[in-house]
């Protein structure tokens, strides 16, 4: 469902309490965003005269042509109270993104934003795999954009995994190509949702599993596993392997 941005405008007293307390009054525009961010703009410059980002608590009250907005986060409070009749409106709001085509369901614009392709006019949204590039081409079956994804090989697929399964495409290309370094059995493609992994086919006797990097397999590591060309450089399929001389260090992202 499309969210809304609320706008209030008029003669207001603006009070901020917290690290830097201040009270101001003027004809301002108050922007209340769906994520509970409140911005107060006057006639000067691009920066708000007062703001509170992603407030923990937000209340708005209206009575006739008057209003009040109170936002709180920790020890900070932003309070905006109208002193005279004001104007107020609501407008639909979405995350802004790069245009990538038109929605085949409703005809509105599709944009790439926040790791997905989403429609500005309806609830349609399609999550993108890491490293995916959205192409100018459209899927002949559904009309959605196609994407280019590298997982050992390069695949061009519909952004809707129900139309083109990345896991199935990777399985067709990589199933059994390499052997498990721990027991010698083939590595097969398994998936969690539409995210493919390489796992030992001797499971559950052998639980060896590797996440497939976003890149192409370009050579063989001394350990017998493939080396991938990724955006960060070349690395072994086994991110902990220290036998490949051109390996790049991986950043720790927590458990």
Residue-level pLDDT at 95? 86
Give DSSP secondary structure letters for 65-89: TEEEEEEEETTEEEEEEESS--EEE
pTM of the entire structure?
0.73
Buried b (16+ CB within 10 A) or exposed e, 185-221: bebbbbeeeebbbbbbebeeeeebebebbbbebeeeb
Q: Residue 252: its pLDDT value, please?
A: 36
CB distance 117 to 138 below 8 Å: no
Query: Any long-range contacts for 211-215 (C-beta under 8 Å, 24+ apart)?
Result: 211/239, 212/151, 212/152, 212/170, 212/174, 212/237, 213/151, 213/237, 214/129, 214/130, 214/131, 214/149, 214/150, 214/151, 215/131, 215/150
- Give the whole-angstrom CA distance, residue 177 versus residue 175: 6
Give, for all 255 residues of the chain, the pLDDT tens digit: 568 999 999 999 999 998 889 999 999 999 999 999 999 999 998 999 999 999 999 999 998 889 999 999 999 999 999 999 889 999 988 889 999 999 998 999 999 998 999 999 888 999 999 999 999 999 999 999 999 999 999 999 999 999 989 999 999 999 999 999 999 999 999 987 778 999 999 999 999 999 999 999 999 999 899 999 999 899 999 988 887 665 444 433 333
Q: Where are the alpha helices (DSSP H) in 134-210?
A: 166-174
| Cα 103 versus chain centre, distance | 19
Neighbours of 173 (CB within 10 A): 16
CATH class of 3-93: mainly beta
223 phi and psi, to 5 degrees?
-80, -10
d(CA 39, CA 13) in angstroms, rounded, equals: 14
Instruction: Reduce the DSSP state of residue 155 to 3 states and report it.
Output: strand
Domain edges within the chain: 3-93, 98-164
pLDDT for position 1: 56
Per-residue tokens: 15: 């009070």
What's the pLDDT score for residue 246?
A: 57
Q: Which two tokens stand for residue 221?
A: 């590591």
């Amino acid at each position: 469902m499309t969210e809304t941005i609320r706008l209030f405008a008029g003669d207001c007293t603006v009070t901020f309490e917290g690290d830097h307390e201040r009270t101001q009054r003027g004809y301002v525009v108050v922007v209340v965003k769906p994520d509970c961010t409140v911005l107060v703009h006057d006639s000067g410059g691009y920066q708000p005269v007062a703001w509170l980002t992603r407030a923990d608590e937000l209340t708005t009250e209206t009575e006739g042509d008057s209003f009040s907005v109170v936002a709180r986060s920790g020890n900070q409070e932003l309070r905006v109270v109208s002193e005279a009749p004001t104007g107020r409106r609501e407008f639909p709001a979405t995350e802004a993104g790069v245009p990538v085509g038109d929605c085949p369901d409703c005809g509105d614009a599709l944009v790439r934003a926040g790791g997905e392709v989403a429609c500005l006019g309806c609830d349609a949204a399609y999550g993108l795999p890491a490293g995916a590039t959205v192409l100018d081409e459209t899927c002949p079956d559904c009309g959605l954009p196609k994407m280019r994804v590298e997982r050992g090989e390069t695949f061009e697929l519909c952004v809707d995994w129900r139309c083109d399964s990345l896991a199935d495409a990777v399985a067709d290309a990589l199933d059994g190509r390499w052997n498990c370094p721990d027991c010698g059995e083939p590595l097969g493609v398994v998936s969690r949702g539409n995210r493919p992994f390489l796992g030992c086919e001797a499971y559950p006797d052998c639980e060896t599993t590797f996440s497939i990097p976003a890149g192409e397999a370009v050579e063989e590591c001394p350990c017998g596993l493939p080396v991938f060309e990724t955006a960060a450089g070349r690395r072994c399929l086994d991110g902990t392997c220290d036998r490949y001389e051109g390996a790049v260090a991986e950043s720790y992202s927590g458990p």
